[in-house]
Amino acid sequence: MKKNESTLKAYKNLDFLKSRDARTLRILSEYLEPLSRLNKLKVNNTILFLGSAQADSKKKGSPLTKYYWEAEELSYKLAKWAIKLKQKGKNFVICTGGGPGMMEAANRGAERADGKSIGMNISIPIMEQELNPYVSPELGFMFHYFFMRKFWLLYMAKAVVAFPGGYGTLDEIFETLTLVQTKKIQKKHFVILLYGEEYWRKIVNFDSLVEHGSISPEDLKLFSYSSDPEDAFNFLKEKLSLFL
């Protein structure tokens, strides 16, 4: 150990902060720093958009391209509506995982409406995923821990809109449904909307879960379907207005 290292203040010791012993501090940082920044920027609540990172705005022949532009349009409508509410602070801010695909589409729609939007990105070993260019810079976050990212994606959400996606989207949908089903999320009027009814009915047979007794028939009321941006917007506007 060098002479001056023994007198280094603990909070400036990067070797320690990156160590196994400091894991609790890193976890707390991923809770406290977003909390501080969101409070400072007066973000009261959000609308969370989920969906495939593989969607491409220009990929001809891909069934996801259609959904990319519908996500962009729905986000645009919601952001434009929310801006006009003139509430104290920022309500119903568009929030995504910050990456490409459907996430980019939602952030893009909010920018088109001249609204702010949040991007909560994650660093993963298999690939470098940067924030998409449509996230408001002051509302861009990068997480190391998946569970802290999931916490912040849901904590301020009043609605979750899930566009077609893969493992990650399915994971987030089922975790959200489980939290609502078990009343760990007790927000009154909380909305879960599966966008792209044909897609979701093919991917997940919820009715079969009921038939097998795996879930209750009442659990089918925890979410709704939509397949049109205008229809989805009107549905969400009506539900979200109950929070005002």
The residue-averaged pLDDT of 88-104 equals 96
Tokens of 216: 């209750």
Residue 155 pLDDT class (50, 70, 90 cuts): very high
Tokens of 23: 């894991």
Average predicted confidence (pLDDT) for the chain? 95
The residue-averaged pLDDT of 141-145 equals 96
Q: Does 3.40.50.450 match the CATH number of domain 43-243? A: yes
Nearest of 49, 150, 29 to residue 93 by alpha carbon:
49
Residue 6 pLDDT class (50, 70, 90 cuts): low
pLDDT at 236: 98
Instruction: Say what percent of the chain tops pLDDT 70.
Output: 97
pTM attached to this predicted model: 0.94
**Hey, where are the domains in the chain?**
43-243
The residue-averaged pLDDT of 172-179 equals 97
- Contact of 92 with 240, CB cutoff 8 Å: yes
